[in-house]
């Protein structure tokens, strides 16, 4: 498939697969363990059908909405995905430009390969900063303050990842961040052992690439390289991927509801909780002061056999009783998916993999096209359902398998 023949979002994946090293493609594509939730995130959308209304004047359709007080062009936003420079040299900077051109929100990952300042320097745009809470609270406070200073408008606190899910492809591939890249938001901050080991690995990768070009040194360099890898594994006592080792070493597994209050003391930005799946947690989140909820299963990369997000959405929305907005991510690939999520009560949706795959295929132009295609499909779905504004999208426009026959 050539990139100018692309007619829908999903088609970018095949191009990305062809272009990217296997280790990188697998990191982006895979889910946890049996990947049941990964498939279910998509399949569940196909079990929701439309009940379109006819003979409504749809000559003018308004897709705009307001999220956290900011007016955006459509209810389709960008979820945080780690390490985008593995997909394209421009990485998160290209994504930021594409989001801003589309008039929508980009969420930058904590574990991005571009810093909050670099992303801010791409120009105006509404951006959220995704936060993983590390054991070292000073580091967390510094990063959050930097994001706030750089003009980010909200903190998206990821609450489903005290430990990284088991992504077997990454374990098999011994996934590691390519040596020319760094996790820019933590660059220069004291991350102790991990930073040192990463520096060693990067140095050895570097020398290995130089030495292996010489026949004579080839044997010795690969010997040396393997030794270093061995040392790396001993250091972490694991044969896991870099991402899993990184998380195990740095993330604070003790993170709990009380910490939301602590985050509120280091920032005045609104805090969205990303990774809520139950009405019970929704109610606690509201009491804890969350400004919004993102129904998410982390793109099926954490706990396998949790329901598809679209299946969990409605109960979460009901539990909020309209007090805070609920967003959804997971498996959004079509404008019809966006419509279904809104009909079940979401205030907007976020996309993850479509961004990294289109970025790999065609950089900023790819991400722009993904946003444009989703926008066009969503507008078409609204027109064919008889809806002229987001407010006109109602629960009656869809029929789910848990609805009684009407
Ligand atoms: C993610 N996701 C994620 N979430 C987060 O809070 N911080 C992060 O750094 C990342 N990184 C990340 C990398 C990759 C490669 C993927 C695929 C996902 C989860 C992401 O924000 C979002 O929840 C899902 O990607 C949404 O599902 P789809 O759109 O990928 O199906």
Ligand 1 atom with minimal separation from the 79 CA: 21
The answer to whether 19 is a known ligand-binding residue is no
The answer to whether 167 is a known ligand-binding residue is yes
Residue 237 pLDDT greater than 70, yes or no: no
Catalytic (active site) residue 298: yes
Q: How far is CA 392 from CA 20, 56, 313, in A?
A: 42, 11, 19
How far apart are alpha carbons 159 and 148 in whole angstroms?
20
Beta strand 49-50 with 65-67 is unpaired
Number of residues written out for the chain = 406
How far apart are alpha carbons 159 and 92 in whole angstroms?
22
Whose C-alpha lies nearest to ligand 1, atom 19?
298
The answer to whether 132 is a known ligand-binding residue is yes
Tokens of 402: 């848990």
Decide: 332 and 353 in contact? Cβ < 8 Å.
Answer: no
- State the distance from the centre of ligand 1 to the C-alpha of 383, rounded, in angstroms: 30
Helix or strand run (H / E) with residue 231: helix 215-236
How far apart are alpha carbons 110 and 128 in whole angstroms?
11
Residue 67 pLDDT greater than 50, yes or no: yes
First to last CA, the chain: 43
Tokens of 8: 């829908």
- Ligand 1 probe mutation, 10, 35, 42, 81, most atoms within 8 A of CB: 81
- State the distance from the centre of ligand 1 to the C-alpha of 111, rounded, in angstroms: 11
Q: Which of 88, 218, 298, 397 is catalytic?
A: 298
Residue 14 pLDDT greater than 90, yes or no: yes
HSE-up of residue 377 (Cα within 13 Å, Cβ side):
19
Reported confidence tier of residue 1, pLDDT bands at 50, 70, 90:
confident
Taking the C-alpha atoms of 318, 322, 328 and 334 in order, what is their torsion angle to the nearest 10 degrees?
Answer: 90
The question of ipTM being above 0.90 is answered as: yes
Q: What residue ranges define each of the domains in the chain, with the CATH number in brackets?
A: 1-39+71-212+241-298+316-386 (3.20.20.70)
Decide: 344 and 316 in contact? Cβ < 8 Å.
Answer: no
Q: What integer pLDDT is reported at residue 139 of this predicted model?
A: 94
Q: What is the pLDDT of residues 150-202, one digit of tens each?
A: 999 999 999 999 999 999 999 999 999 999 999 999 987 666 555 555 555 55
HSE-up of residue 289 (Cα within 13 Å, Cβ side):
15
Ligand 1 atom with minimal separation from the 112 CA: 9
- State the distance from the centre of ligand 1 to the C-alpha of 157, rounded, in angstroms: 13
Taking the C-alpha atoms of 229, 233, 235 and 238 in order, what is their torsion angle to the nearest 10 degrees?
Answer: 170
Residue 44 pLDDT greater than 70, yes or no: yes
The answer to whether 333 is a known ligand-binding residue is yes
How far apart are alpha carbons 166 and 101 in whole angstroms?
36
Q: What is the pLDDT of residues 346-401, one digit of tens each?
A: 999 999 999 999 999 999 999 999 999 999 999 999 999 999 999 999 999 999 98
How far apart are alpha carbons 6 and 358 in whole angstroms?
10
Whose C-alpha lies nearest to ligand 1, atom 9?
82
Taking the C-alpha atoms of 378, 380, 381 and 384 in order, what is their torsion angle to the nearest 10 degrees?
Answer: 160
Ligand 1 atom with minimal separation from the 332 CA: 29
* Mean pLDDT confidence for 343-347: 98
Taking the C-alpha atoms of 60, 66, 70 and 73 in order, what is their torsion angle to the nearest 10 degrees?
Answer: -30
């Amino acid at each position: 498939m050539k990139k100018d023949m692309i007619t829908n979002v999903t088609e970018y994946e095949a191009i990305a697969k062809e272009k990217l090293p296997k280790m990188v493609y697998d990191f982006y594509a895979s889910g946890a363990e049996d990947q049941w939730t990964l498939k279910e995130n998509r399949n569940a959308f196909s079990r929701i059908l439309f009940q379109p209304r006819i003979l409504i004047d749809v000559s003018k359709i308004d897709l705009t909405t307001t999220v956290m007080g900011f007016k955006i062009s459509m209810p389709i936003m960008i979820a945080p995905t780690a390490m985008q420079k593995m997909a394209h040299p421009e990485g998160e900077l290209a994504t930021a430009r594409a989001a801003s051109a589309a008039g929508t929100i980009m969420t930058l990952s904590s574990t991005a390969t571009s810093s909050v300042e670099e992303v801010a320097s791409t120009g105006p745009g509404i951006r959220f900063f995704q936060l993983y809470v590390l054991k070292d609270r000073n580091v967390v406070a510094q990063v959050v303050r930097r994001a706030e200073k750089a003009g980010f408008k909200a903190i998206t606190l990821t609450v489903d990842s005290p430990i990284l899910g088991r992504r077997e492809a990454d374990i098999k591939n011994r996934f590691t961040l390519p040596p020319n890249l760094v996790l820019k938001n933590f660059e220069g901050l004291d991350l102790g052992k991990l930073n040192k080991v990463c520096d060693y690995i990067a140095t050895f990768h570097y020398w290995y690439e130089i030495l292996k070009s010489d026949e004579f040194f080839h044997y010795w360099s690969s010997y040396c390289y393997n030794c270093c890898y061995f040392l790396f594994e001993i250091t972490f006592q694991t044969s896991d991927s870099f991402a899993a080792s990184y998380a195990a070493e740095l993330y604070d597994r003790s993170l709990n509801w009380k910490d939301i209050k602590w985050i509120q003391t280091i920032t005045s930005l609104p805090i969205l909780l990303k990774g809520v799946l139950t009405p019970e947690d929704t109610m606690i989140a509201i009491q804890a002061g969350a400004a919004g909820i993102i129904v998410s299963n982390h793109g099926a990369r954490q706990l396998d056999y949790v329901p598809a997000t679209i299946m969990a959405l409605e109960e979460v929305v009901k539990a909020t009783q309209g007090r805070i907005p609920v967003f959804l991510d997971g498996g959004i690939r079509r404008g019809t998916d966006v419509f279904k999520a809104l009909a079940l009560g979401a205030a907007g949706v976020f996309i993850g993999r479509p961004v990294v795959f289109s970025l790999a295929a065609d950089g900023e132009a790819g991400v722009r096209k993904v946003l444009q295609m989703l926008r066009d499909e969503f507008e078409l779905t609204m027109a064919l359902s008889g809806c002229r504004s987001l407010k006109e999208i109602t629960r009656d426009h869809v029929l789910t398998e848990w609805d009684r026959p009407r």
